[in-house]
Structure 1
Amino acid sequence: MVYRVQENVFDKFFKHRESLIRQFKKGDISKREFLEEHYNFIQQLNLKPFQRRIDSFEKGLYNYQYFNMLAKYCYMKSKDIKLQQKHPRLAEKFLEDSNYYYYQKDKSTLKLLEFLEFKNVEAYFVKVKSPGLKDKLFEIVLKDYENVIFHSKNTWLLERLQEEGVFLEGKKKSVIDNYINEKY
């Protein structure tokens, strides 16, 4: 008897995301296209974040990616000049939504780090081109997992990383420098 393993929504989400990352790294799509494609995919699958406890790495990572994508997409839309001119209230709403999703992303990050007990975590400020992010944006690397990198500029999250002794002094080049320094 042959058993067929059905791909779950988790698998679809992460496979699609990895595909978009490969396309971005090869230069096939821009950062803006990456964000739009990922956002549309989330909408198409009608994905929602986990509301209860984070009791697995996968759930924590999924929630981070979910909120991060929505935050970036809303921020990108809020900065659209045509939208600002024709529908300033809608642009303002996108910015409010972006701030909300960034806050939720940071809460998700903390829940995952607490689940992992801050083990094999390294955080530091990153070198950026954007004057608005200089001395604010920091990177969190989960060393036990390949290519798992979080970013934030949230001060309470920074303080917690410092309290846990995982925040390094100085600045480093981001592990994904090309991505964080490309405008969208």
Structure 2
Amino acid sequence: MYAQKEKTKDSGSYYKATAQFKPCSKKNVIQRLDLSKVDRSKLNFNAQSAFDLLDNNRANFKKVDKSGGDVNAVQDSEKRVTSAYKVISNVKGGRSPALQSTIGWLGNLEAENINAGHNGGHLIADSLGGSGTWQNMVPQDGPENKWGDWRKYERENKKAMEATGDPLIVRVQLGYTGDSVLPTSWKSQIEDKNGKDVSSYSA
């Protein structure tokens, strides 16, 4: 389904987006990760880092604390971020290209496809003050992150902030299947200072 743009009394010129491309199709989710078919020596440095995090049933991934941070992240028992929120701003949060690449590779390896093209996707955009940290990034489909409805939604958040001049809060919720670190559901909404929904995203 392509993005559904709606102009409502509450949302003004902003729109609710339903993503065409989900973060991961359930048929590709791996319950028990098998890396035996991947030649680690042929991977680049960031991909090798992801491999090491996922090896031995994601043992090292589970050692990384992903709670709190500037986005108030909440993690589950598998150390996967399940929700985050932040009052957004025009001050960029700062990027970490190496970590972003490694997190994208987590998605490729989970999907058993090194050419899957996942990115380390920000839950709260860098342009809205979201940091380039474990608390604020998860594997996300590359085209959706760069050009899809998620990217459009991030731009709408910035427009809403600039239009109102008031503090706005972005909230994100993620869902997973089994013990995979690749999200299978992704929801976000932006609220004004009174808690009114300005726009939302669901994939």
Q: Give TM-score scaled by structure 2 length.
A: 0.28
Higher relative CO (Cα under 8 Å, sequence separation at least 6) belongs to: 2
Higher helix content, 1 or 2: 1
Q: Give TM-score scaled by structure 1 length.
A: 0.30
